[in-house]
Structure 1
Amino acid sequence: METTVGQHSDSSMRQVVYRQFGERDVLQVVSSDMPSPEDRQVLIRVHGAGLNPIDWKTRKGLGFVAQQIESSLPWTPGYDVAGEVVAIGDGVATLAPGDRVMGMIGFPLNGGAYAEYALATADELAIVPEELDLVTAGALPLAALTAWQALFEVAKLESGQKILVHAGAGGVGHLAVQFALARGAHVIATASAGNRDFLAGLGVHEVIDYHTADFADECYGLDVVLDLVGGDTGKRSLRTLGENGMLVTIPTVTADEIVSAAEEQGLRAHGMTVRPDVFHLDEIAELIEDGDVKVHIEKAFTLGQVAQAHELLEGGHVRGKLVLDCR
């Protein structure tokens, strides 16, 4: 049941929906009935909902999620959430009302984070460290899990190894460089000149300005490349690998061609799709508690500014993360 946005009643909430795929103008804020948690679910009062590239691609009808949800529109986007537990369903023993939580929820087909309240299963949620405010925490899960799984599950990055991170100042990138540094790796990142000081401030050992230098000439014998750009950048990165090195490429649209190019050259490359993992989120939360990792928010938007948020998101070149402040 939806009503147009207007007066709040106690049992209603505002959420973003789209009824068809398209440009940013398909994003609408509507008033809906507040959901109730079912078995093993919790209801979260959302403070922060992170924005990720998959959000705008799906909205445009691109990619695997769009194909799956096409027949079940209207849909509320968003997989990244942080907030306060306000109600729990049966069978939830690990969380209680008042807990500060974050997680990657409803992935891939349910979404639901762009809202004042969201449902999640208890096993999707980690406790937010006191050091992190809940709006900022909302921007963390998907990007952090992408970086973590790429580095430590796929590439098996170890202390003392050399890694190149493309787009090191972006959402996934700025977390990946910090995870790699915390693990004791030697970290090189590509970025524009305007992000050199930002990355140096995070502790990155070498920053290559991709406008003025060719990383393929500057790097060789690398243990790991984390390719967050894809396409030609991914393919040219293969030249920088040591014989036992591995490239992990994140953009799905060019992953197959990069993996094929690697095989032709006798090198190792892998594509990757992120998955929710609350144990990884707990480990990431510990690094934040210890002060080893910071989440950088370039800009926060209200729910009503969601179209502007998507405009910035689609343009790329965001430093760190964008977030919706849903309070």
Structure 2
Amino acid sequence: MTYAQYGDESVLELTEQPLPKVGPSQLRVRVTRSSVNPVDWKVMSGALDQMMDASFPAIPGWDVAGVVDEVGPDTPEFAVGDRVAAYARKIVVSGGTCAEYVTIPVEFAAMIPDGVSDDHAGALPLTGLTARRAVNALDVGPEDTVLLHAASGGVGFLAAQLAARRGATVIGTCSPESFEKLRRIGVTPVEYGEGLTERVQQIAPDGVDAVADFVGEVLETTLAVLTEGGRHVSIADPAVLEHGGQWLWVRPDGAGLAELLRMLDTGEIQLDIDRTLPLEELPEAFRISREGEANGKIVITVQD
């Protein structure tokens, strides 16, 4: 699937493109699965044009699971036939993962354990690595009470599990429909929206030690409930920089992804998949994501 200009999902079309070349320290992957993240349609809209160059026609998608089809020179870590996954964001928006083949740097890739399906491996990279980076940046430990904004979303749900596994007391904002989902993983749910600050203060009257914002427009609540000297990060609001917080962007990280895949394989973390759609229905998948209709990841089946 490609788009020749910025726009909404109507600019996507199924086209034939040349087989990507394989350079030194690169892998070419025969793509079995990709998945949809909000950043995919935001990039396609031109929202990131001020920071990322684009080469048209561009192929969207940064998540990938598949099989190594060819290795470039100096790539001893992988061999043809290996099952791999990657967060495959590149410097230039162009050769994405919603295609039959994609070339990626070797350091982006991680082996998929036998017990992890292509669906789950393809859905994990961006959300998993973002969650991991946020929890690591907050240096979450067993003494901490942590507030996660949008804890039932793709990133938040994984971050909640990672924080809970470190022994932290986790409070997560969500809609009432997702309360039980969070309770199942040991998280105290709290309804987002008007009155959130007061509801969090009732749960944690002494304040919270760390906050992760995965949705934006919650800085006022974050600062109101954070203890003196507390830590906070956001993936959605750079204004945190003006208040001692960190604004995070996820980085491709094969080693980090390998650890997350191991945890998925052993059942230490779980991943919600809302639905799977074929590559030809990518415009519909983007619409579903953009309008907030999915409760979990949308996986794109490219080929088996």
Q: TM-score, normalised by structure 2?
A: 0.92
Q: Please point out which of 19, 28, 33 is paired with 2:13.
A: 28
Q: How many residues align?
A: 298
Per-residue Cα deviation, 1:65-91 (whole angstroms, up to 9, x for no partner): x65334x21111111111111221221
Residue of structure 2 aligned with 1:274, choices 238, 250, 268: 250
Preserved CA contact (<8 Å) 2:89 2:252: no
Partner secondary structure for residue 202 of structure 1: coil
Structure-1-length-normalised TM-score:
0.86
Alignment check: 8 A CA contact 2:28 2:71 kept = yes
Give aligned-pair identity as a percent: 32
C-alpha contact (below 8 Å) 1:234/1:249 kept by paired residues: no
Q: What residue is the counterpart of 1:3 in the other structure?
A: none
The whole-number CA distance in structure 1 between the counterparts of 2:194 and 2:86 is 38
Q: What stretches of structure 2 of length at least 5 have no aligned partner?
A: none
Structure 2 CA distance for aligned equivalents of residues 136 and 216 of structure 1 = 37
Q: For 2:209, give the aligned amino acid.
A: D
Letter of the 2:179 counterpart: R
Is the partner of 1:189 in helix, strand or coil? strand
Q: Report the equivalent of 2:97.
A: 113
Give the whole-Å Cα distance in 1 for the aligned partners of 2:155 and 2:61.
16
For residue 39 of structure 2, what is the aligned residue in structure 1?
Answer: 54
| Contact 2:190–2:199 under 8 Å retained in 1 | no
Structure 2 counterparts to residues 101-250 of structure 1, below 5 A: 101-110=84-93, 111-152=95-136, 154-204=137-187, 206-210=188-192, 214-219=196-201, 220=204, 221-231=207-217, 233-250=218-235
Over residues 140-197 of structure 1, what are the superposed CA-to-partner deviations in whole Å (9 max), with x where a residue is unaligned? Answer: 1111111111111x21111231111111111101110111111111111011111112
SS at match of 2:68: strand
* Aligned 8 A contact 1:208 1:215 in 2: no
Tell me which residue corresponds to 1:294.
270
Q: Is the 8 A contact 2:30 2:68 kept in 1?
A: yes
SS in structure 2 opposite 1:74?
A: strand
CA distance in 2, matches of 1:90, 1:303: 31
Mapped to 2, the partners of 1:94 and 1:269 lie a distance apart of: 37
Note the aligned Cα RMSD (angstroms): 1.8
**Does the residue aligned with 2:57 lie in a helix, a strand or coil?**
coil
* 8 Å contact from structure 1 (residues 129, 288) kept in 2: no
8 Å contact from structure 1 (residues 174, 320) kept in 2: no
8 Å CA contact retained: 1:222, 1:240: yes
The answer on whether the counterparts of 2:52 and 2:91 sit within 8 Å (CA) in structure 1 is no
**CA apart distance, 1:294:** 1.1
One-letter identity of the residue aligned with 2:273: I
Q: Which residue of 2 aligns with 1:90?
A: 73
